[in-house]
Structure 1
Amino acid sequence: MLRRLRDVIVLALVTFIVYLVIIVVLLLSGAVSLTVFLLLLVIAPIIALLISIIALPLFVIGLIIPILVIAGILLAIHIILAFVLTIIVLWVGNKAFSEALGVNLIPFSEDGSIVWWRIILAIIIFISIYSLIARLSYRVREERRGLTVPYV
């Protein structure tokens, strides 16, 4: 029982760290402003907790089911849920800030159009970091089981 509790705590910490890395990369790439970064940093623990709660059943099912295809599908669902939750937070934050303060959180150019290349870059960086963390966690999980997995 303590081992499972420890795994849940480690999962929550890893999710929180991944979330922090993602928002720092978004800030450094210019996809979000410093205001958005600080806003996401303040609500990061809540979002990380929600992502962990959503992801936990998927990871448990992935540990129980040894079929690689199903585990891959569950990992993809987890990534999509985390990404959608982050987008929802950004959208709600953008609406709230634009109505309350007249400031948009999503990057706009001078003529008012969205800077799409920054958003696409942020999505690519998000997926890259998340897939790297997923591969590392998969490798660690298989090594803990004592299985050898060919490098992919």
Structure 2
Amino acid sequence: MRNRNIYGAKRRGAQRVQECCCHLRTSSAATSRRAFQILRANGNLPSAVITSNDIIAGGVILECLALGISVPAELSVTGFGDLDIAAQFSPSITTVRTPRSQLGSIAATYLIRKLRGEDAIDDLRLDVELIVRESTGPA
């Protein structure tokens, strides 16, 4: 879905849509700070960094503060999961809220079905909510 949205934005004439992925072995703030340093090594500052969780987003924001990069004036940062710390961070982290209890129920159902030798869930769509906070600004 991410790739479809990026390519769709390019077709619609977006000025700057470029994807660069960093795959982290751990989801720590220290690791994400290092990943952002590597991303910045080419000298270009993206307009946004979209992360896979709020801890990684927090690490990126900490590194931006250390480098004097203003979030969101110079860089927008988003997380995923709406962890409690996302609202407490400064700037507070824009994130995607997932239905945690529904996810837990689906995971339990999946596990029980697999243990019984039944077919697992083929397609799963969850209602998520974008929580816009202070870490994002206009592109």
TM-score range, shorter chain: under 0.3
Q: Which has the higher contact order (CA 8 A, sep 6+)?
A: 1
The alignment's TM-score, normalised by the length of structure 1, stands at 0.26
- Structure with bigger strand share is 2
